[in-house]
Structure 1
Amino acid sequence: MTFARQDHESGLDTLPRMPSWVTSARSETLEDVAFLSGAALGHLHLVLGREEVPQTLLRERLALRAAEACVTLSGRTERAGELRDMVNLLRPGDLPGPAGETYLAWRRAVERAVSVKALGRALPAVDLGQIATWLDAGNGAPLTRAAVVLDAVLTEAPRAEVPALILADAALAQALGWDHVVPLLAAGLKRTDLRKRGQNLRLACHRAVTASAVEATRLAVDLARRAALLKGVAPKLRAKGAGEAVEVFLTQDAVAPGALPLPDRAARRLCDRLVDLGAVRELTGRDTFRLYGV
């Protein structure tokens, strides 16, 4: 191992870990769960500020997680692998289906900086004026604001779970000063939670965000290590366009060889080479129509 590699891994070791008392504490009152969610969000905020963390890739992975949770909440059976196929193997003119649309909505929600226009792109069926009104519904502390937005959307449109959760996460991001939506609420809420209102819904949101912030922190640390490994093997890649291909892997959850800036055969060889080096993983387990990711 070179000294440069040692220094880089040492840098990764300084990524702050979530305190054990956040993950182990049990609480029942709104005050207690609010304290824990604030601690978890504060810790995640520190992690998101570290340059070692591949921010775009982290948001993509969290978007997939949120989409899977929303699909489950709707009673559908599609899971992460199927959602990846629906979107990444989509051909021009094909429709992604309801589950694929949910995944696309979350992906679009995290792609651009938070704004009414960007959220309108993620939620084309919702009027921009309505999006602005709902986002302005919340006030107070960040998670209180997010819970009020969630409450407002579901009260007015009880079946609009996906828009409600996206807008609640957007309100949370704005309140915390984050540039982009970081999906947290959907993965931590149960279907019964979405029927709650007022303080009961806020309580559920605090618990959901605590659990999701813990998982997001773990994912951020893991992706930082994987990204460092990919960057470390990049100089060994001789294919023309390999550098641009590495950047694609560092920003996208799953990549089909055909999406890389290389001829088809060269792209497939590069993916196989990266798998052999342990820098990326084949995500499908198939012999054809494969997808790869960090």
Structure 2
Amino acid sequence: MTFARHDPIDDLDTLPLMPAWVTSARPETFEDVAFLSGAALNHLHVVLGHKEVPQALLRDRLALRAAEACMGFAGRPERAGALRDALHFLRPGDLPGPAGETYHRWRCAVERPATLKSLHRALPEFDPDTIAIWLDGHGAGQGGPVARAAAVLETIMTDVPRAEGAALILADAALAQALGWEHLVPLLALGLKRADLRKQGEALRLACHCAVTASASETVRLSLELTRTAARLKAVAPKLRAKGADDAVEIFLNRDAVAASALPLPGRSARRLCDRLVDLGAVRELTGRDTFRLYGV
């Protein structure tokens, strides 16, 4: 696999920034709020369609943030570093625990197209028929994208009050499907507050519109950041001489965090490659530790 050289500044110049009026406006009516969320989603749609945006990496990073938010909703706040450790350093036969399980679910949800099969894979405790009813029944298939997502969220929180994570995954899936996106993009979990999950009707729809506006703006900012860092990694890839380096670079371009042991190289070679990428400014060491390290762009 060969990577072309990219100028990070040129890549960023081709990605449109979120208009300031979307994030700075102070809406006074429900219609104002809905208009702003629609504008934010439309802009995000344009950015996500850009070929230079590392889509899988973006979704994986957002999955981490969504898992972090869900742990807070459950009253068990876990920072990003603890969530990464809970999943990346599992030994065969170990159970991930609540934090690792939550993170695993979000990663499964964003990894593949948001089909009924992949959603069941992320949420195996619910049978596919139940998931389908939640996504399409009780008025969830009616109205605009945010209204549909709010209807799914309200239905699940009514049926299974403690299933916050599943409700948010399926609400984001409904949002993605309504927008014509192939993959689920975590947005609602990043913008909603714990108290919002207990709201109903118009109050919940209002909270979802506000959450989408804030999350879409942050996702656009993150897209720009990851486009720049991914371009830097692609630019240094030709300098790497290790056998399997191209495949290793591809892994970094798709995952939020990578352990050296997950790379397709022998242990010592994998560690040397990670150190080389850090020295070149292409990846960061994420843990600050001398052992059990994780790396990411």
Partners of 2:6 and 2:234 within 8 A in 1? no
Question: Is 1:114 equivalent to 2:117 in the alignment?
Answer: no
Moved over 6 A (4+): none
What residue number does 1:22 align with? 22
Residue among 189, 201, 226 paired with 1:186? 189
Percent identical pairs in the alignment equals: 71
Alignment length, in residue pairs?
290
Partners of 1:83 and 1:100 within 8 A in 2? yes
Shift in Å, 1:241: 0.5
CA distance in 1, matches of 2:123, 2:259: 26
Spell out, residue by residue over 1:182-202, the C-alpha distance to the aligned partner (whole angstroms, 9 max, x if none).
000001111110110000000
What residue number does 2:239 align with? 236
Spell out, residue by residue over 1:36-68, the C-alpha distance to the aligned partner (whole angstroms, 9 max, x if none).
000000000000000110000000000001000
The one-letter code of the counterpart of 1:178 is: W
What residue number does 1:145 align with? 148
CA distance in 2, matches of 1:5, 1:251: 17
The one-letter code of the counterpart of 1:24 is: S
CA distance in 2, matches of 1:179, 1:31: 28
Question: Higher RCO, 1 or 2 (CA under 8 Å, sep at least 6)?
Answer: 2
CA distance in 2, matches of 1:12, 1:154: 40
Q: What is the correspondence of 1:79-90 to structure 2 with a 5 Å cutoff? A: 79-90=79-90
Shift in Å, 1:254: 0.3
Partners of 1:37 and 1:210 within 8 A in 2? yes
Q: What is the correspondence of 1:39-54 to structure 2 with a 5 Å cutoff? A: 39-54=39-54
CA distance in 2, matches of 1:289, 1:277: 21
What residue number does 1:65 align with? 65
What residue number does 1:157 align with? 160
Partners of 1:12 and 1:52 within 8 A in 2? no
Across the aligned residues of Structure 1 and Structure 2, the Cα RMSD in angstroms comes to 0.9
Partners of 1:108 and 1:122 within 8 A in 2? yes
What secondary structure sits across from 2:110 in the alignment? helix
Shift in Å, 1:5: 4.6
CA distance in 1, matches of 2:61, 2:29: 32
The one-letter code of the counterpart of 1:106 is: W
What secondary structure sits across from 2:108 in the alignment? helix
Partners of 1:249 and 1:293 within 8 A in 2? yes
Deviates more, 1:80-89 or 1:24-33: 24-33
CA distance in 1, matches of 2:118, 2:291: 35
The one-letter code of the counterpart of 1:163 is: A
Structure 2 runs not aligned, ≥5 long: none
CA distance in 1, matches of 2:234, 2:111: 22
What residue number does 2:269 align with? 266
Summarize the Cα distance change of 1:198–1:286 in structure 2 as closer, same or farther, 3 Å threshold.
same
CA distance in 2, matches of 1:35, 1:286: 46
Q: What is the correspondence of 1:87-106 to structure 2 with a 5 Å cutoff? A: 87-106=87-106
Spell out, residue by residue over 1:76-120, the C-alpha distance to the aligned partner (whole angstroms, 9 max, x if none).
031110000000111110111011111101000001111111000
